[in-house]
Amino acid sequence: MTQPASSNRVPRPDGLVLAPFRALRYGPGASLADVLAPPYDVIDASQQAELEARSAHNVVRLTLPRDDAGPDSKYAAAGRLLAQWRADGTLRPDADPALYVYEQNAGGHAQRGLVGAIGLTPAEDEIVLPHENTMAGPVADRLALMGTTEADLEMIFLVYDGGGAASQAVADAGAQPPLVETTTPDGVTHRIWAITEPSTLDAIAADLHPRRAVIADGHHRYATFLRYQADRHAAGDGPGPWDLGLAFLVDGSAFGPQVHAIHRAVPGLAPAEAAAAAAAGFTVTAVDGDLDAALEALERAGKAGTAFVVTDGEASWLLSDPDPAQLAAATPSDRSDSWKALDVAVAHTLLIRALWQLDDSEQVVEFHHDVPAAVAAARASGGTALLLNPTPVADVAAVAAAGDRMPRKSTLFVPKPATGLLIRAFADAH
């Protein structure tokens, strides 16, 4: 069901909607391992060049069009290229609308969920919940690309607490041969199944309707979906394919993602100095042994509460049991209890700002996606690596449900869905 249109005539579903769609997919002649790409926002310049070199049809040519594309804008060039690939059969729409089961297997961990067209709702409706803030620049970039391609080239990544008919349909898919299977150069195996049986689709829709989902990855893309929808309705275009957006919906309790910590490095702050300053508000314990021993101590301590390790890879200290009074004084009073309990929030409010007395900016505190990178950065600068435990998915959901936003660089959900397997073109919506 859809609620009556609001004053700006934008329709709003009254529950979680994941609709079937006709996916635009690479034809049988394509080597999928050569044409797929990671999400646009994790691709640096060298990887973009490497992806382009793999194939003249790599999807990165659509998602990250070059500035030197010609007299028109790079966005217009991407629109022309998509039209060309449709015309020559490089990309072909499926015959029938479907929900797609998508599985990624990385290092023995299987993540599996449903890909469909999500009904767009603002955060205040508490159906699709963001957990991060967005910036205007990336939204404007994706909006320009969406306007010229008239397609959702990349899916957003949602997690929810399932256990019903939708989760069962995802689990059952593995009993059948996949529609698509490929292994990309990063070692991740991707498999796709299509669900077209009406009774199964109806059961999935009924199961999902009362639920809500949290955006794990793709906040700027979802903001772009909403902005494009508003623009089309403001232009008088009425209801259309812009009222939905391409999404990958994963039951976090079954076939869910792995969540990795994003670590910090503070150049110029020696670990011994960092540990001594932290002792004013934490229990600080020197860790005997190597870095592996420190990481084991961090994991153990994290089961009982907030804990960190400060290290340069050689000397390490465990920080645990933050002082409640100092933590309360350092934490903004307008934040939710869920936000205040986050390790990453404690790290920035009590440790970095209050005890280390540092400016909490990216010029002072660096972010790294793995321990070796954080330690290497600390060593190179005579500084400290601040290592964290991963934030549980349930904690991310609790912050979102409270209407709050996670501190920046809080979580890394992996694996990220590949781009190019399933594209949602507006021309194929009907």
Record the tokens describing residue 216, joined without a space. Answer: 């794990």
**Looking at the domain 259-412, which fold is it?**
3.30.1760
According to CATH, where is 3.30.1760 located in the chain? 259-412
Record the tokens describing residue 301, joined without a space. Answer: 């301590």
Q: What is the pLDDT at residue 2?
A: 53
Q: What is the pLDDT at residue 258?
A: 83
CA distances from 100 to 15, 108, 376 (A): 20, 22, 41
- The distance of Cα 179 from the centroid of its chain, to the nearest Å, equals 25
Segment-wise mean pLDDT, segments of 10 residues, the chain, 430 residues: 55 96 95 96 93 97 85 88 97 97 92 97 94 88 96 96 93 95 95 98 98 92 97 95 97 86 95 98 96 97 97 97 97 94 96 95 89 95 96 86 85 90 90
Q: What is the pLDDT at residue 429?
A: 75
Are the CB atoms for 144 and 75 separated by under 8 Å?
Answer: yes
Q: What is the pLDDT at residue 412?
A: 82
Q: 283: which strand partners? A: 320
Q: What is the pLDDT at residue 91?
A: 98
Categorise residue 401: left if φ over 0, alpha if ψ from -120 to 50, beta otherwise: alpha
Q: What pTM, to 2 d.p., does this model score? A: 0.85
Q: What is the pLDDT at residue 4?
A: 44
CA distances from 31 to 54, 177, 255 (A): 10, 19, 27
Q: What is the pLDDT at residue 8?
A: 55
Contacts of 260 by beta carbon, 8 Å cutoff, 6+ apart = 369, 370, 390, 411, 412, 413, 414
Q: What are phi and psi of 342, to 5 degrees?
A: -70, 135
Q: What is the pLDDT at residue 406?
A: 86
* Percentage helix, strand, coil for the chain under 3-state DSSP, each rounded to 5: 35, 25, 40
Record the tokens describing residue 365, joined without a space. Answer: 């505190």
Contacts of 129 by beta carbon, 8 Å cutoff, 6+ apart = 123, 212, 213, 214, 215, 397, 400, 401
What is the spatial distance between Cα 77 and Cα 254, in angstroms, rounded to a whole number?
41
What is the spatial distance between Cα 205 and Cα 108, in angstroms, rounded to a whole number?
30
